[in-house]
Amino acid sequence: MLTKYDEFLCHQTVSTFNSVSTSAREWTERIWFSVHDTVGKYQMISGFGYYPNRNIMDAFACFVVENKTLYAVRASRVLRPRIDEVSVGPLSYDIVEPMKQLKCILAENEHKLSFEIDFHATMPAHEEDAQYTEEKGRALENIKRYVQVGKPSGWIKYEGETVRIDQDSWRCERDHSWGIRRGGGVPETGVQPSEYPEGYLHNFVLLQFDDWGATYHTREDWDSNTLHFSGSVFYPFDSTREPDQLISVDHKFTFKQDIRQIDGGNMTLNAEDSSKIDITIHPLSACYLQAGGYFGYEGFTHGLWLGENYLDGLKLDLTDPGEIKKLSFLDDVVCKATCGDRTGYGIVELVVIGRYPKYGYTGY
């Protein structure tokens, strides 16, 4: 089957863009789109998932108001024949100018949440090193990803209230990944289960200051040994400085008492040229991605067949400790970041499972 992508001179296999290079059902292409203010009142995360070997495309939007209420809209559809349209129900995503400007829309719907938001990149995208994990001779994960920071414009409407987004007091982040992906979606059945690690840490950070930005993605075992690390310090489009490669991070986070979610901390970014950058973070708000389908919540899981067209919505009370305990796992925490006399903003994502003595955790 031909797609509109087949018009471009970008083929890499002897096939059309109707298929990918493997039949693995875990092959996923995902967009993550983050928008928030700089005071912690409003935070929105949206995402799209493309599963060519499951014949599914799905999408979600989660909007958090004052850390009290989370509104979610989740949608899924059969992928083909509209394989080359990034739209699912009322949610759509458009590339206005590659690597510079993007648009994310949630059209009016029955769940009282809608928006139209433009992402205006302020700095070039950072290409992460590939993430590869193998178990018992089989690839569990083989992912490529890039990330980018920017400033948004547009509006969000919820329950009749309209929030105007301006570039002075709001920030945005995004990533785009593709490949064989583990976690976050439908587990494969009928195969030998994966081994649970004794302990594990996942930490992703994406921050922007006025004249520079920083990102890293690290995975560690229970004893704080690095399994994967990729990171960079980058600069605005009009800067003549080349990105600074990071080789490691020393993180010292503090956690809430009832859930494994950060409530502060600092990190030291170690660069290839032996320089160090010390950053202190101050959490402002948190969006619970499980409500959007990561690892599944209330009947919606990424990559799960829900019929030719599916749409639902949630309104969750984040002041209820019981609700938070059900929701909290993969949480995107908006943070104010300070580095000397400079202030920035961005996302800190941290998952700690099982044993991890560095932070006082002795088991699951």
Which of 62, 86, 60 lies closest to 288, judged by CA?
62
Percent over 70 (pLDDT), the chain:
99
Does this model's pTM top 0.85? My answer is: yes
Looking at the DSSP bridge assignments, the partners of residue 278 are: 268
**pLDDT tens for each residue of the chain, 364 residues long:** 999 999 999 999 899 999 998 998 999 999 999 999 999 999 999 999 999 999 999 999 999 999 999 999 999 999 999 999 999 999 999 999 999 999 999 999 999 999 999 999 999 999 999 999 988 888 889 999 999 999 999 999 999 999 999 999 999 999 999 999 876 677 777 888 888 899 999 999 999 999 999 999 999 999 999 999 999 999 999 999 999 999 999 999 999 999 999 999 999 999 999 999 999 999 999 999 999 999 999 999 999 999 999 999 999 999 999 999 999 999 999 999 999 999 999 999 999 999 999 999 999 9
pLDDT at 9: 95
Q: How many folded domains does the chain comprise?
A: 1
Q: Does a structural domain hold residue 20?
A: no
Distance between CA 192 and CA 175 in Å, rounded? 31
In a domain, 10, yes or no: no
**How many C-beta atoms surround the C-beta of residue 321 within 10 A?**
10
Q: Is residue 110 part of a domain?
A: yes
Domain that holds residue 271: 26-185+197-362
> Are the C-beta atoms of 335 and 347 separated by less than 8 Å?
yes
Assigned domain for 15 exists = no
In-domain check, residue 162: yes
3-state helix, strand, coil in the chain (%, to 5): 5, 60, 35
Q: Tell me the CATH number at 203.
A: 2.40.370.10
Residue 62 and residue 349: Cα distance in Å, rounded? Answer: 16
Q: Decide if 2 is inside a domain.
A: no
List, in sequence order, every residue forming a beta bridge with 115; answer none if it has no partner: 106, 156
- Evaluate whether residue 225 is within a structural domain: yes
Q: Please indicate, yes or no, if residue 191 is contained in any of the structural domains.
A: no
pLDDT of residue 184: 62
pLDDT at 343: 98
User: In this predicted structure, what is the pLDDT of residue 335?
Assistant: 98
